[in-house]
Amino acid sequence: MKTKVYISIIALLSCLACSEGFLEENPRSVLNPVGFYTEEAGLRAGLNAVYANLRPLYGEREEPFRMSIFGTDLFTHGKAQISLSFNNYDVDLNPFAGEVSFLWSTCYKIINLTNTIIASAPGVEMNETQRQRMLGEAKFIRALSYYWLVQQFGDVPLRLEPTIGLILETSRAPESEVYRAMIEDLDYAIKHLEPNYPQWGSVRKGAAQHLLAKVYLVLEDWQKAADLAIAVINDPNYTLEENFSRIFHHENQINPEVIFSVQYENDFTNSGTTGNRTHLMFTNSYSDIPGMERVLQWGRPWTRYAPTQYLMSLYDDEKDARTDIWRTFDDFYYNNAATLPQGKNLGDPVDESWRNTIEFHPALIKYWDPSRASVNDERGNKDFIVFRLGETYLIAAEALMMQGKTAEAAAYFNVLRQRAARPGVDFSIGEGELDIDLILDERGRELAGEMHRWFDLKRTGKALERIKAYSQQGQNIQPHHLLRPLPQNEIDLLAVPIDQNPDY
């Protein structure tokens, strides 16, 4: 049993007391939300609600995956061809797309919840250290929400106070101003959060350092990015798992590689009815093949996201143990006597004619969840890993490399290579080999499916080049696609509309 942050009923009720989005009117929000948190118990319930509202971004919904891995060099659609505009860069990638509306409203809902905590905390009688810790947690989550917004939309409204009632006027703050606010929030969090807490799931100092390092990569402040990443690497609370696949095992969710994860439980009260549904997204359509049926060990197929040929070409199975988190064609066999093809027997390997078809793409099993009640149960119980130490090593390597410190960069890079290497294999590189393309390739191998790829390609200026080169469906991508369209339904609510991003 995991000892984790639990979301109480009062926390969920407090969530309902806050407005859905800063541009939408919610009658409940006419009551000043700051007034709700007058006691420590209420403030803690509100902070629990903030944590709970991260779940739609990390695990409950598909939209964040479409905006972070779809249409990149690493992933395309599986057999279920649903909402393909962010994969194909077609005319449906427009201000009316449900994905942009979802991300905008979800992030601003979280931001408004954190703003309410931050505004209320000074007036609550409580231990000062605990107050500062709670403020640090709220400010980290606010910065994380703005990271999504500014990376996807560019200039966005910067809201640092609770929203009460209907807002008819707003303006877009420059990206630089948004990043400055994020840095202030994360600096505060680093100062006031502790390296570790007994309660798993709470934001720790390392999470704030990790996110701030990512921000400084975007801003090309290489030294600060490197310093922060190295500080996390040197934090004794974090160590790399020796076995890569072990990071994602459902019985190892509390492990020292995890820097921050969004919590789920096999408990409707604490995790809601939806749960973490990511286990559905990366499966192939094996049960559509005659002679096969769904089983818990192979998962329930929604077959949303399939690896590109390029992604699979990055792995060398003889050298790289990270191929073990892919269930490939050779890992399946006939298991349904009722529909067996003529001449086949139970336990036989699947006929070669199905290899590399859209039904039988390699299946990513990082999110595999056998703790579900049945094979058709959509509700998953595993935590969603947001940040982990494997990425921190790659942040350090990138930041050092960009300063010309190639020997130091290669040293951090090779730590991950060593962890990934099969027994007896030297998988390391020389310092002269490291460049941004090798960094991106390694991030692909290490972090496949973990919702980083769009941000990586945009940050490094490689999006157009790599998507054109390696995504068959992404050939329509244009420079204006590096920013997403602002949701039209939000613009239409304003008395004075804000500008749309160019070419939308």
In the chain, where the domains are located = 9-193+485-492, 224-263+385-464, 270-382
- Mean pLDDT of all residues in 455-470: 98
Mean pLDDT of the chain: 92
Helix H, strand E, coil C: the string for 376-429 is CCCCCCCCEEEEEHHHHHHHHHHHHHHCCCHHHHHHHHHHHHHHHECCCCCCCC
> Binning pLDDT at 50, 70 and 90, where does residue 293 land?
very high
- Mean pLDDT of all residues in 460-475: 98
> Binning pLDDT at 50, 70 and 90, where does residue 1 land?
very low
- Mean pLDDT of all residues in 410-420: 98
Statement: residue 349 has pLDDT above 90: yes
Strand pairing report for 384-388 and 258-262: antiparallel
Query: Lowest-pLDDT range, 21-35, 72-86, 182-196, 388-402?
Result: 21-35
CA distances (Å), origin 52, targets 97, 113, 244, 449, 456: 25, 11, 28, 22, 26
Which CATH number is 224-263+385-464's, of 3.40.1440.10, 1.25.40.390, 1.10.645.10, 1.10.760.10?
Answer: 1.25.40.390
> Binning pLDDT at 50, 70 and 90, where does residue 114 land?
very high
The pLDDT, as a whole number, for residue 24 is: 36
Statement: residue 266 has pLDDT above 80: no
> Binning pLDDT at 50, 70 and 90, where does residue 189 land?
very high
CATH number of 9-193+485-492: 1.25.40.390
The pLDDT, as a whole number, for residue 168 is: 85
What is the per-residue pLDDT across 321-345, written as a single tens digit (0 to 9) for each?
A: 999 999 999 999 999 999 999 999 9
What is the per-residue pLDDT across 423-445, written as a single tens digit (0 to 9) for each?
A: 999 999 999 999 999 999 999 99
The pLDDT, as a whole number, for residue 17 is: 37
> Binning pLDDT at 50, 70 and 90, where does residue 254 land?
very high
* Percent of the chain topping pLDDT 90: 88
Report the run of H or E that residue 453 belongs to, with start and end: helix 453-459
Rounded CA separation 115/132 (Å): 14
Token couple for 478: 């244009």
The pLDDT, as a whole number, for residue 3 is: 46
The reply to whether domains 9-193+485-492 and 224-263+385-464 share a CATH topology is yes
> Binning pLDDT at 50, 70 and 90, where does residue 108 land?
very high
* Percent of the chain topping pLDDT 70: 92
